[in-house]
Amino acid sequence: MTNRMRFHACFLLLNVISGFQAYARQTTKCDTTEAERAEVMRRTLESLENEYEFLPGSLSFPPFAQPAGRYGLVAFDGKVVNPPALCEITSRVDTPYGPGLCNYSFVLGPRDAVVGLFCTPPPVKYFSLRSYTGFRFRPQAWLPAVELADPDNNLTFNTTGRLPREGPYLQGKREGSAESDAAPFCRTAAFVSTGDGVTARDVRRALANAGWAATATNLDVVSAEKAYFRDVRRPWAIDRSDAFVINYRVSQPIDSAAVAPYFASSYPFYMLRHRPEVSSATSNRELGNASGAPAQATLPTSGYLNMAPGGNLGHLPDIEDENAPREPLTTPPLRPRGTGQDESYLLPTLARLEEAVTAYMGRSRGAVLHARWEMEHILPDTQRCLTEPDYFPIAASVPEWNLTGFATCGFFSRDCLYTFLSPPTTGKVDYGDLTFPRNRSFVFLGANQVGLEKVTYSNIFMTATAEPQKQGRTVNFSAQALEGSANWFLPEDPEAKDLFAVTLTRDDCRQGVLVKDGRRGGALSTDEAFCTTVSEGVLSYEEFVYIVERKYLEPATQIGPDPDEVLPPVVLVFESPNITGLGFERDAERMEAMARF
């Protein structure tokens, strides 16, 4: 061993130990200990040290907005892993996420990898981990924010919980027990993100030699036919390779108190840089074409194995030629959407629910229907997101809102079906109707797809267009919170249990119930549970609001639902005819006081 290699080995040991001490001690319940994970990672990186340099980083949960949970991101020291000009250029890109996103972006060489060993969260409705093309710089700088393949999620993730009951968690270290069932929560998983099959094989072999089970390892394919990898032989200003982002979604905890320490924790992740002096691998410029286009090499789809039982176990590529200097990985087969079963049979009941809500709002609140909108499912064209800097599938330019628009796929996931209001630029929605003055109420109607087992979790929310999804500026409803809401309006209809109807209003939710009873005063009704009073501190009277629904993971397909099979929500806007009735006495007093001056 050379002096240089001895230095790197010692440096490796110190970094792994200090990394786990700094991060993992804050984690919640897990089926492996901090010491076990640190030892596995130390052995793994030590065996790879001859061919790869490593740079330490972490998986943590920065304060990015998410009304139903948190986003985790993998971060490295940008001054070390990225060219100096990258953050300067990305700071000029107009995005919804601000300049800080550069700190969670990184470039990759064609043989590089990102590797981590982490614990999965306590029980939640959904989690997933996936790489995205964050920033792209050809022909200009913009934010595609598009995933390169299907994510691994809580229905497909390879963890220690997916091992057979009689098998070990760590080879030779711990015997199986009653805990080693199929649950993916509070388990341990290895994550490998790379665009190269040889590198994937190197890391898989190193993990196995370190005592880690292959069936608890996940390969995140950075698709070679879609990505621009770093060519270190050229200045980055000329190379203009992509900057990638690894996004970790953790949504709708079963127990918020139990998951809070998890959101406060971090896990060590490592960037593996393939050493060019020991590599015969060529750059993607040579494997593609002279202009630096992504490589077109393709692995046979049979290399992506489904090692039943337990879902997509061991979906690492089977490399036939172990002496090959490089095997670019292309996009694995995508999971198909849809089961052939739709929700059209609920349309008559949904129409009756709308009639009942309209009648109730008029009778109890003196409100009349002002506007009605059917929301629309959105499936961005990911290829256009990667190739067209002027493609605006989500956030179009709305001058009336002072929004210039964002050319981005917005880190959308194929695990989800997103449903928005039509942009006001289409003429289907009036700009003025997307404000929330004192005399206005909004009612959301729709099918509860969680109860119908069409999705694993869903949520619908109203948010401020100026600060979308920001905590304290968003009113969010989970599917569980909506259960039984339609039954209040249609108590005799057996299909009402599969629908929801929730009200957002400025006045006291109790007023409508009491007026319905023909008096002011008396006991509260269950209507209060399905009505939310929105204060001016959350959404002001003057600002524009927006409404979004998200539907994650159809259990039968392990991917987002088919837009042709699920009903979009309907939004009803009601207005009271004058400002002095039904809870607006305070405004009347102000007007009377002003008239005296």
Domain map (residue ranges) of the chain: 3-303, 349-587
What count of other Cβ atoms lies within 10 Å of the Cβ of residue 14?
10
Quickly state the pLDDT bin for 15 (edges 50, 70, 90). Answer: low
User: pLDDT: is 236 or 469 the higher one?
Assistant: 236
**Angle, alpha carbons 481-482-488 (nearest 5°):** 125
**In the beta sheet, which residues pair with residue 419?**
377, 549
The pLDDT, as a whole number, for residue 473 is 83
The pLDDT, as a whole number, for residue 78 is 79
| Mean pLDDT (the chain, rounded) | 79
User: pLDDT: is 22 or 302 the higher one?
Assistant: 22
Q: pTM of the full predicted structure?
A: 0.81
Cα–Cα distance measured from residue 39 to residue 117, given in angstroms and rounded to the nearest whole number: 11
What average pLDDT does the segment 209-222 reach?
Answer: 95
The pLDDT, as a whole number, for residue 97 is 67
What count of other Cβ atoms lies within 10 Å of the Cβ of residue 565?
18
Looking at the predicted structure, is the pLDDT value of residue 180 above 70?
A: no
Q: Which of 382, 446, 475 is nearest to 145 (CA)?
A: 382
At which residue do the structure tokens 């109707």 appear?
Answer: 433
Looking at the predicted structure, is the pLDDT value of residue 392 above 60?
A: yes
The pLDDT, as a whole number, for residue 544 is 87
Cα–Cα distance measured from residue 559 to residue 335, given in angstroms and rounded to the nearest whole number: 6
Task: Kindly give, in sequence order, each residue whose CB lies less than 8 Å from that of residue 7, ignoring residues fewer than 6 positions away.
Answer: none
Q: Which of 336, 113, 95, 338 is nearest to 229 (CA)?
A: 113
**In the beta sheet, which residues pair with residue 196?**
328
**In the beta sheet, which residues pair with residue 574?**
369, 441
What average pLDDT does the segment 179-184 reach?
Answer: 60
Looking at the predicted structure, is the pLDDT value of residue 452 above 70?
A: yes
Cα–Cα distance measured from residue 90 to residue 71, given in angstroms and rounded to the nearest whole number: 21
Cα–Cα distance measured from residue 81 to residue 557, given in angstroms and rounded to the nearest whole number: 37
User: pLDDT: is 541 or 165 the higher one?
Assistant: 541
Quickly state the pLDDT bin for 583 (edges 50, 70, 90). Answer: very low
What average pLDDT does the segment 403-410 reach?
Answer: 76
The pLDDT, as a whole number, for residue 23 is 47
What count of other Cβ atoms lies within 10 Å of the Cβ of residue 365?
24
The pLDDT, as a whole number, for residue 519 is 34
Q: 180: which 2 tokens?
A: 């080693």
Cα–Cα distance measured from residue 201 to residue 271, given in angstroms and rounded to the nearest whole number: 16
The top-scoring range by mean pLDDT among 16-20, 46-50, 464-468 is 46-50
What average pLDDT does the segment 200-209 reach?
Answer: 96
Looking at the predicted structure, is the pLDDT value of residue 449 above 80?
A: yes
Would you give the end-to-end CA distance of the chain in angstroms?
90
User: pLDDT: is 496 or 521 the higher one?
Assistant: 496
The pLDDT, as a whole number, for residue 405 is 67
Residue 205 amino acid letter = R
At which residue do the structure tokens 């979906």 appear?
Answer: 315
Per the CB < 8 A criterion, the answer to whether 44 and 86 are in contact is no
The pLDDT, as a whole number, for residue 574 is 95
Looking at the predicted structure, is the pLDDT value of residue 144 above 80?
A: yes
The pLDDT, as a whole number, for residue 527 is 52
**In the beta sheet, which residues pair with residue 11?**
none
Convert the pLDDT of each residue in 545-578 to its tens digit: 889 999 999 999 999 999 999 999 999 999 987 6
Cα–Cα distance measured from residue 37 to residue 459, given in angstroms and rounded to the nearest whole number: 35
